[in-house]
Structure 1
Amino acid sequence: RSNKNTSTNQKTHRKQAPVPLLSSSSSNNISPSERLANIEDVLDNLSICVITLGEDVASIILQLKSLSKMIKIIQNMLYKMVLFEVMSTLRLSLKEARTQLTKDVRYRKVMKPKATDADSNENVLNDTTNSDDRAIQLLDEQQCLYDE
């Protein structure tokens, strides 16, 4: 057959039911040319089925790619939302810890016991007071940064 006939057959066979394979018992009553024509029809139908299945698979692949992209978008959105929630919670927790630490440092500074021996403890008290003042100053600066 020519290419023109084949393309016409494919279009017409698409609308027809597939031609069943010939059994060996019925092949004895059919002439060789009819048998070859029937075999060719069956092969044409099988080719059409394979092409149709290939198109279906390609369509499914496109749908899966689109679905995969949507799943990635959703995952990214969820990841960002969870990350934002964790960061917000952590920020509040750190803020509370900083506030409590500031209170503890101030309390320690006010309630620090006086040294009995002024000569031996004078340097230690001055160093501790200076470091406490510096710690309070740093905490206050950090609090200003977090509050912004």
Structure 2
Amino acid sequence: MSFLHPYLPMLKGLAIAGSLINGGTLTSGYRLLPSIYPTVPKSPKDAAKQWEYFYWSMSATVPWVDLATFIAIGTLGCVEYQSDKTALPWKIWASAAGLMPIGWVWVRQVMLVPSGKLLDVAKSSGESKQTLDLLKDFNAQMGFRMMFPWVVGGLGLWASLGF
């Protein structure tokens, strides 16, 4: 893997930028979602439609950035491992890569429940009394989900700047 050594700075930048971009995107969504709450008493369906735009916008970008970041981090871990199996950098990159799938499982196993219900509210012709609870539940779960890219970015910075 010595052919990758000239590209390591670019891969490190991609890994750090990708995780921090997703961390910022998820945090923005987490911070902005409560602005929809006042709409719920007037029209739960309109609130769910506003959330739906947010949901599909994030679904279009976050997974692709996560995948590119994961590939870059995995490559960096492999290159660092082959350079020095006893050194710390490859272990940091491996830890960062290991955290990313936990966030994906969290989305699939936990966040899809309120997401599916909110999408149903947005598409239905009736009004749902539980929309506010679903929005708050989704946002609480987003609060946990957004920590993963921030931690991965921090580990990437540590591995890049510390060695």
TM-score of the alignment, normalized to the shorter chain, above 0.5:
no
Larger Rg: 1
The TM-score, its normalising length taken from structure 1, stands at: 0.38
